[in-house]
Amino acid sequence: MKTIGHHTVENRNTFNYIEQNGPFQTMDRNPYLGKGFYFWDNNYHFAKVWGNIHYNGNYVICQATLHLDNEIFLDLVGNRENIMYFEKLIKKLNRENWPIGKFIEFLKKKELDEDFKGIFPFKAIRALDYDKDNYKKYKFAEGKTGYTSLRPIFIICLFEKTELLLSDFKIIYPIIKKWK
């Protein structure tokens, strides 16, 4: 799968540094999908929302092309087999009460153990963030309870920063003039 990823960082007026060294690994001690490099899956709107909330409006939005090959990409949004596999791992390893991010870090460590090699061969993951404050609902049919969102929030976390996973990383907001 190939998609556009939006990455939001604090604006410290270091635009060249950001473009040359980004994306940046999350500094959150309890990340949603484990340690890694976070992107919004083609969601410029939510990249702005995130910047306004977490950086008080002082942010930079970067964009990259993400190359997510099926063998190394755990898709908890659009791949039913991946979803069933992940849920099976949670149950098999008796971790139903663990947060997803903690479980992913646990699986990364297990993957390094020869006895568990192949249990978690992934380099990237995508999940739906059902944030009730930012999840716009649309009813399917009058008088029925089902609904969908035309603005879902998909999070993508790359566990490593490589050209195999991302390319064309650049700042798209604010618009900056580059001097040659």
Residue of higher predicted confidence among 49 and 177:
49
Q: CA distances (Å), 70 to each of 60, 63, 67, 100, in order? A: 30, 22, 10, 20
13 pLDDT tier (thresholds 50, 70, 90): confident
Mean predicted confidence (pLDDT) in 120-127: 97
The predicted pLDDT at position 150 comes to 84
Statement: the pTM of the whole predicted model exceeds 0.85: yes
* Cα dihedral 43, 30, 116, 86 in deg (nearest 10): -50
The yes-or-no verdict on residue 28 having pLDDT over 50 is yes
Q: Which two tokens stand for residue 180?
A: 């040659």
The predicted pLDDT at position 144 comes to 93
Q: Indicate whether 38 belongs to any domain.
A: yes
Give me the residue label for tokens 């879902």: 152
The yes-or-no verdict on residue 110 having pLDDT over 90 is yes
Q: Indicate whether 14 belongs to any domain.
A: yes
The yes-or-no verdict on residue 12 having pLDDT over 60 is yes
Q: Indicate whether 178 belongs to any domain.
A: no
Q: Indicate whether 145 belongs to any domain.
A: yes
Q: Indicate whether 43 belongs to any domain.
A: yes
Strand runs labelled E in the chain: 2-10, 37-41, 59-67, 73-75, 124-128, 137-139, 147-149, 154-158, 166-173
Q: Indicate whether 17 belongs to any domain.
A: yes
The yes-or-no verdict on residue 132 having pLDDT over 70 is no
Q: Indicate whether 31 belongs to any domain.
A: yes
The yes-or-no verdict on residue 134 having pLDDT over 80 is no
Query: What average pLDDT is seen over the chain?
Result: 93
Q: In one letter, which amino acid is 179?
A: W
Contact 159, 122 (CB under 8 A): yes
The yes-or-no verdict on residue 172 having pLDDT over 60 is yes
Q: 158: domain range?
A: 2-76+123-173
Q: Indicate whether 111 belongs to any domain.
A: no
Q: Which of 134-138, 146-150, 164-168 has the highest mean pLDDT?
A: 164-168
How many structural domains are present in the chain?
A: 1
**C-alpha 19 chain-centroid distance:** 19
The yes-or-no verdict on residue 180 having pLDDT over 50 is no
